[in-house]
């Protein structure tokens, strides 16, 4: 079954590229760029990965990304993850990045854009892997700053497949960014948003109503509101669920307690993703395997979940048809 799941054509929709920074690469980039780290070894970094909640994770997450300074750094970061994903049978990856976290350190927009884009093109040449790029806004910062970033990103509008909303959810409701997402809609850019991870189900409804999003990142709190569940079932707006992330951030205590089976039983469209694989226990394949161990799903269920991700990915229709055909042959 593990071999079959590895060979299944999988699509990654919810991936923060800064969260794919493995400790080994973190130390390598720190040495290259002369950045001092508050850790003496790779093992010490890994020992710090015992998070109590989302905020404790974010503190380490932002600490680690300080090593990302140059276009080559972002290229190397993306290639390292895309290579691991390819080995795990991932055929399409949607990379989200946080420009505000880099701008605040003096790293200009062109640096992550050009570095990531170069890696995305290389992955397609080397492995036939397709990719999409999501520019996310930090919800714990001011909406005016997000609007400024969106306007400054004009030279790259043609390569931005969607804008997103991430970081600390509690106390930062989606409506805070209504004007930013309306501007993205005017520009013809698709919209996704984190909602219902640590925040309530009401944040999911608000993201749908106010931000006009196409996908909900996480969304596991939806079961709090039966009317919302019915809406998700009827509209088939997908949830990009990250099971290992939810466990590591104490959204659930153990995989057996995860609401995924109940959400799926309600007819909601669900996909499996890794979120921040360096910090949360692995990539997409690891999340599939964790669900296999916890829920004992059969091959048809995993094909259904993989098909859901292909259905809603940002990709040309010709590529979508190709991947669905590959999936049908598994």
Q: What is the pLDDT of residue 273?
A: 98
Count of Cβ atoms closer than 10 Å to residue 67 Cβ? 21
* DSSP secondary structure string for all residues of 175-211: GGGHHHHHHHHHTT-EEEEEESSSS-HHHHHHHHHHH
Q: What is the pLDDT of residue 119?
A: 98
Lowest-pLDDT range of 57-71, 143-157, 163-177, 303-317:
57-71
* Sheet with 10-16, edge to edge strand ranges: 10-16, 90-97, 130-138, 162-166, 190-195, 215-218, 239-241, 270-272
Active-site annotation holder among 169, 197, 198, 206: 197
| Distances in whole angstroms, Cα of residue 246 to Cα of each of 58, 98, 210, 252, 287 | 14, 20, 25, 6, 11
Q: What is the pLDDT of residue 49?
A: 77
Q: Is residue 330 part of a domain?
A: no
Q: Is residue 90 part of a domain?
A: yes
Q: What is the pLDDT of residue 62?
A: 81
Q: Is pLDDT at 47 greater than 90 in this prediction?
A: no
Q: Say which CATH number the domain at 121 has.
A: 3.20.20.140
Which of 192, 188, 172 has its CA nearest to residue 14?
192
Q: What is the pLDDT of residue 263?
A: 98
Q: What are the residues facing 270 on neighbouring strands?
A: 239
What are the tens digits of pLDDT across the range 248-264? 998 999 999 999 999 99
Q: Is pLDDT at 144 greater than 90 in this prediction?
A: yes
Longest Cα–Cα distance in the chain: 53
Q: What is the pTM of this model?
A: 0.96
Q: What are the residues facing 190 on neighbouring strands?
A: 162
Q: Mean pLDDT in the chain?
A: 96
Q: What is the pLDDT of residue 44?
A: 87
Active site residue 197: yes
Which of 21, 19, 20, 23 has its CA nearest to residue 38?
23
CB neighbour list of residue 88: distance below 8 Å, 6 or more residues apart: 6, 10, 283, 284, 285, 286
CA distance 59 to 53: 11
* DSSP secondary structure string for all residues of 125-188: HHH--EEEEEEEEETTS-HHHHHHHHHHTGGGGGG--EEEEES--TT--GGGGHHHHHHHHHTT
* Tally of domains in the chain: 1
Q: Is residue 273 part of a domain?
A: yes
Range of the domain at 15: 2-321
Q: Is residue 53 part of a domain?
A: yes
Q: What is the mean pLDDT of residues 159-177?
A: 97
Q: Is residue 328 part of a domain?
A: no
Q: Is residue 309 part of a domain?
A: yes
Q: Would you say how long the chain is, in residues? A: 330
| Distances in whole angstroms, Cα of residue 185 to Cα of each of 116, 286, 292, 298 | 24, 35, 38, 39
51 pLDDT tier (thresholds 50, 70, 90): confident
Q: Is residue 329 part of a domain?
A: no
What are the tens digits of pLDDT across the range 257-310? 999 999 999 999 999 999 999 999 899 999 999 999 999 999 999 999 999 999
Q: What is the mean pLDDT of residues 140-165?
A: 98
**Token pair belonging to 180:** 């930013």
Q: Is pLDDT at 40 greater than 80 in this prediction?
A: yes
Percent of all residues in the chain with a pLDDT value above 90, rounded to a whole number? 89
Q: What is the pLDDT of residue 57?
A: 82
Which of 182, 180, 258 has its CA nearest to residue 219?
258
Q: What is the pLDDT of residue 90?
A: 98
């Amino acid at each position: 079954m593990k071999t079959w799941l590895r060979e299944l054509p999988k699509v990654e929709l919810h991936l923060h590229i800064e969260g794919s920074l493995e400790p080994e690469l973190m130390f390598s980039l720190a040495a290259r760029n002369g950045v001092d780290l508050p850790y003496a070894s790779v093992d010490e970094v890994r020992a710090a990965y015992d998070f109590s909640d989302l905020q404790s994770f974010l503190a380490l997450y932002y600490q680690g990304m300080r090593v990302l300074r140059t276009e080559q750094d972002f290229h190397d970061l993306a290639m390292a993850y895309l290579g691991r994903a390819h080995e795990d049978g991932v055929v399409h990856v949607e990379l989200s990045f946080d420009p505000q976290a880099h701008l605040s350190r003096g790293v200009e927009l062109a640096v992550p854009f050009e570095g990531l884009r170069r890696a995305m093109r290389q992955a397609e040449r080397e492995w036939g892997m397709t990719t999409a790029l999501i520019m996310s806004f930090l919800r714990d910062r001011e909406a005016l700053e997000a609007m400024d970033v969106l306007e400054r990103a004009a030279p790259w509008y043609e390569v931005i497949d969607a804008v997103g909303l991430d970081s600390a959810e509690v106390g930062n409701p989606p409506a805070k960014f209504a004007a930013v997402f309306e501007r993205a809609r005017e520009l013809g850019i698709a919209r996704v948003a984190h909602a219902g991870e640590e925040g309530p189900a009401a944040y999911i409804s608000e993201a749908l109503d106010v931000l006009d999003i196409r996908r909900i990142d996480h969304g596991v709190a939806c079961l709090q509101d039966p009317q919302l569940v019915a809406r998700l079932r009827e509209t088939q707006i997908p949830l990009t669920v990250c099971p290992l992330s939810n466990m590591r951030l104490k959204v659930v205590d153990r995989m057996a307690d995860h609401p995924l089976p109940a959400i799926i039983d309600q007819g909601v469209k669900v996909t499996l993703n890794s979120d921040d694989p360096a910090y949360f226990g692995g990539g997409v394949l690891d999340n599939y395997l964790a669900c296999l161990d916890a829920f004992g799903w059969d091959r048809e269920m995993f094909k259904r979940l993989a098909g859901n991700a292909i259905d809603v990915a940002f990709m040309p229709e010709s590529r979508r048809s190709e991947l669905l055909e590959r999936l049908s042959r598994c």
